[in-house]
Amino acid sequence: MIFTQWKLCTGSCALMFAFISFSAFYSYQVNIRRKPDDPEKKDFSPFGPWLAPIILPPLFLADAFFLILSSLAFGFLLILFPFTLLMFRKPFLIKWIRKQALKIGNWVLKINTAILRTAGFHPASIKLLHEQKTPA
């Protein structure tokens, strides 16, 4: 059973490396055939396709490492958060989050309003618009 699983994993990994190598070589060939003034032409190294299967395993290991690290951090926060709620009775965290949300929201609304005014979709002032609608 373990041997069969190992054969399946080895075959699928070899197929994946072959596909990635093929993709790297194909994209390099397509890039070489483009005209020099083509805006989609990139400046790739000729050794790039050869390094694709060599660089892939360390990238997979780094990805697995970061997955484990993020899981541990999430577990730590799941354990730590209830204790902080029990230890600190004052809701300082909620007040701080509200303050930051208001600050960021005001900043975003200011930028969006400036964009809308520039495009001509928003009046200069709500007060001016209100004064124009109500007769004196």
Q: pLDDT by residue (tens digit) across 21-62?
A: 788 888 888 888 888 888 888 877 777 778 777 777 777 788
Q: Where are the domains of the chain?
A: 1-63, 90-136
Given pLDDT bands bounded at 50, 70 and 90, which one contains residue 7? low
Q: Any idea what the Cα angle at residue 22 is, between residues 62 and 8, rounded to 5°? A: 65
**Token pair of 56, please?**
């892939």
CA–CA distances in Å: residue 68 to residues 44, 56, 62, 77, 107: 33, 19, 10, 14, 36
Using the predicted structure, report yes or no on whether residue 127 has a pLDDT greater than 70. no
pTM of the model: 0.41
pLDDT tens across 59-92, in order? Answer: 778 888 888 888 999 999 898 888 877 777 666 7
Average the pLDDT over 105-128 and give the result. Answer: 72
Give CA–CA dist 108/96, Å, rounded.
Answer: 18
